[in-house]
Homo-oligomer: A and B are copies of this chain.
Amino acid sequence: MYDAGSAAAAGVRGCGPLQPSQSDRTGGLRQQVFVHVRATGQSSRADIARGLGISAGSVSALTSDLIQSGFLEEVEDTPREAGRGRPPVALRVVRGTRCVIGIKLADARHSAVLVDLSGQTVADVTLPTAGARKPVAALVEEVGTLVDRLLTEAGQDIACVAGLGLGISGIVEHDTGQVPWSPLIAGRDTALAALLADRLGVPVRIDNDANVLTLAELWFGSGRARSDFAVVTVEHGVGMGLVLDNRLFRGSRGMGMELGHTKVALDGALCRCGQRGCLEAYLADYALAREAATALDRPARDAGNAAVIDALFAEAKAGNAAAATIFRRAGRYLALGLANVVQLFDPALIILAGERMRYDYLYSDAVLREMQALTLAEGRTTCEIATHVWGDLVWAQGAAALALADATDAVLGA
């Protein structure tokens, strides 16, 4: 995926790119120690051992590795009690010297963040873009522009970028960096990660956009307190991410979790993917715009335009029965999709996320009641539902977490 030769040709040096790991493991013990210290701000070795339930000896070896490879540094800890002897020592993430880039590609705009190893955002930029599918070469150029603007904004050079993570909707092979299909790319089975690595001269990891948002929840969001949870996203499509035992689950062969393309009707509504009866064909933006074209004479060509959905929602709120019936059915299908997630994965928490969560039809009490009614719960504690109305920058932060996990794995051998 990443060609060291082309990186060298691009003049990478100093604190530059790290070799990416071929491993899919983002949950190794060193990684866990690093994430623990990052999450707590600073932490003593004893705190780490307690927090992760590992021995003092292991912590000592792991933190020594992390210090030597420039991820952690020792600082003087706040003394808890007066006394003699050595001043207490804590560990924290080394700041400022190395960064990773996180990018979310989308229909209407691309977003990028520059994040240091401690997870602090150094800079962010957004690039408006046309909504149609485009050749992968054009998309790679757009990412190049985005990265240039981001580095300019931050006053940084590409040489300080240890890696780039990118989230894109569609079917994405995280392991190989190939994109078999994406609604943003004209053509199939493109080598997106390799093309980006060649263009930028840094290691690139890509993943499905729902997975990068799930990583954002795990690294920066409410998922930090949970070892197991699901994320369901509703935007231009419907996505899902699942964390099991603090790790992202991608399906046995790395490409599961396609909730948006599970079938909720035989011979049902037509989906963007060309099949019928997919959940997202009842729920995603284009599905609502299509219904608006039928019942409200809205031009079908506006289907990719989020403003159309905003206007439709305003009409539904103002009492337009046709508009209201469109949202009502979308809400019922969301309830059905969530019930299926509960039935199969039995998560303790589902986080609903994505731009459409601004529309309360998607998380109204009626929807949650219907979800319960469609779930064989039999008196057990129901699954907790949380709603996060997050912007694209949070998705980009998740993509940065992907690069961060990869950079630490690469150096530390996972």
A62 shortest CB reach to chain B, Å = 20
Which of A101-109, A258-266, A285-293, A305-313 touches B? A258-266
Which of A128-136, A154-162, A332-340 touches B? A332-340
* Neighbouring B residues of A378 by C-beta, 8 Å: 171, 180-181, 188-189
Tell me the chain A residues, 242-293 only, with Cβ under 8 Å from chain B. Answer: 244, 250-259, 261-266, 273, 275, 277
A181, A189, A256 interface centre (most CB from chain B within 10 Å): A256
Asked if A175 is an interface residue, CB under 8 A from chain B, the answer is no
Tell me the chain A residues, 146-169 only, with Cβ under 8 Å from chain B. Answer: none
- The distance in angstroms between the C-alpha atoms of A263 and B262, with both chains bound, is 11
Tell me the chain A residues, 183-223 only, with Cβ under 8 Å from chain B. Answer: 188-189
Q: Are B264 and A266 in contact (CB under 8 A)?
A: yes
* Neighbouring B residues of A228 by C-beta, 8 Å: 252-253
- The distance in angstroms between the C-alpha atoms of A273 and B374, with both chains bound, is 10
Q: Are A374 and B343 in contact (CB under 8 A)?
A: no
Asked if A345 is an interface residue, CB under 8 A from chain B, the answer is yes
Stoichiometry (number of copies): 2
- The distance in angstroms between the C-alpha atoms of A181 and B375, with both chains bound, is 13
Known contacts A189-B378, A336-B263, A252 near B346 by CB under 8 Å: yes
A361 shortest CB reach to chain B, Å = 15
Which A residues form the contact surface with B (CB < 8 A)?
A: 171, 180-181, 188-189, 228-229, 240, 244, 250-259, 261-266, 273, 275, 277, 332-333, 336, 339-340, 343-348, 373-374, 376, 378-380
10 shortest interchain CB distances as A-B pairs:
A251-B346, A180-B378, A256-B346, A228-B252, A258-B343, A262-B340, A253-B346, A181-B378, A252-B347, A261-B376
Please name 7 pairs of A and B residues whose Cβ atoms are closer than 8 Å in the assembled complex, sorted by A.
Answer: A180-B379, A180-B380, A252-B345, A253-B346, A257-B344, A264-B265, A264-B266
